[in-house]
Amino acid sequence: MKRILLLNPNSTKSVTERISKTAKRYDQPGFIIETITCEDAPSAIETSYDELMSGKAVVDELSKREFDAAAICCFSDPGLLSARELFSQPIVGICQAAVNYSALFSRRFSIIASGGSSEIDSFINQMKSYQAGERLASVEYLDTGVLGVTTNSDEISERIEKCIKDHGVGAVLLGCAAFSGLSEKLSAKHKIFVSEGVGPAILTLVSLMNFRESNKGWLK
């Protein structure tokens, strides 16, 4: 059995529980999916310093674990580049996975963030780093912060409707792992791709591991 680690790079266990619940929908034969809280990380990742400390916690946690692949379950993908430098196993971030998957459903996409307007530039720069800057139609924000995200999807649904009406998008990315558990309901309601990235990350890792198995001659 191949082991996939889902790392919550903040120390808030309620977020880990939401990630774990979402992950169960993506169980794959031959794979064990384990969700882990980075205990030494900040309780929420809302500043550059939080992201720096979270990235270190991710690398430290991975160094203690046996795994075949891993996903970093925070939309800023903290520690992703460092982890890829240090470990040979496939490692993805939920943001990059969601961005890549969204391209299969829509040329343009919007992001709904848990934070405020001060985060917009960070999202724009992140999308540019993933070669998706031209695809980003808009960034909406709830101004709740990570720990203020609830399972009430009504306000998020209103923002999705606004993104569809104002920008014609066929995909909306929920820019925080704390939104885990809402995407399936929202996708069904609005008939577009909605994701916080947990599902796309798992499916990307499964695909990468299967690809490696088929290309052992040049992939290690």
Say yes or no to pLDDT of 192 above 70: yes
Q: Note the residue count of the chain.
A: 220
Q: Are 177 and 196 in contact (CB under 8 A)?
A: yes
- Cα–Cα distance measured from residue 177 to residue 39, given in angstroms and rounded to the nearest whole number: 16
pLDDT band at residue 218 under the 50/70/90 scheme: low
Phi/psi of residue 157, nearest 5 degrees: -60, -40
Range(s) of the chain covered by CATH 3.40.50.12500:
2-93+199-214, 96-196
Half-sphere exposure of 194 (CA within 13 A, CB side): 25
Exposed/middle/buried for residue 20 (C-beta within 10 Å: 0-12, 13-18, 19+): buried
Structure-block tokens of residue 155: 């306000």
> 96-196 — its CATH code?
3.40.50.12500
Looking at residue 178, the DSSP 8-state letter turns out to be: G
Mean pLDDT is lowest, of 38-52, 64-78, 158-172, 192-206, for: 38-52
Say yes or no to pLDDT of 162 above 90: yes
pLDDT band at residue 220 under the 50/70/90 scheme: low
Structure-block tokens of residue 207: 């695909």
pTM over 0.95: no
- Cα–Cα distance measured from residue 134 to residue 165, given in angstroms and rounded to the nearest whole number: 19
- Cα–Cα distance measured from residue 32 to residue 15, given in angstroms and rounded to the nearest whole number: 20
Q: Are 11 and 43 in contact (CB under 8 A)?
A: yes
Helices (H), 24-149: 48-63, 80-86, 94-102, 120-129
Q: What mean pLDDT is predicted for residues 17-27? A: 95
pLDDT band at residue 33 under the 50/70/90 scheme: very high
> 2-93+199-214 — its CATH code?
3.40.50.12500
Q: What mean pLDDT is predicted for residues 52-64? A: 96
- Cα–Cα distance measured from residue 190 to residue 187, given in angstroms and rounded to the nearest whole number: 5
Q: What is the mean pLDDT of the chain?
A: 93
Q: What mean pLDDT is predicted for residues 67-96? A: 97
Q: What mean pLDDT is predicted for residues 50-68? A: 95
pLDDT band at residue 212 under the 50/70/90 scheme: confident
Q: Looking at residue 44, what is its pLDDT?
A: 87
Q: Looking at residue 151, what is its pLDDT?
A: 67
Q: What mean pLDDT is predicted for residues 187-199? A: 97
Q: Are 28 and 202 in contact (CB under 8 A)?
A: yes
Q: What mean pLDDT is predicted for residues 88-94? A: 97
The 10s digit of each residue's pLDDT in 103-157 is: 999 999 999 988 778 888 999 999 999 999 999 999 998 887 676 676 668 889 9
Nearest to 51 by CA among 72, 73, 79: 79
| Side-by-side strand order, sheet with 31-37 | 31-37, 2-8, 69-72, 91-93
Say yes or no to pLDDT of 16 above 70: yes
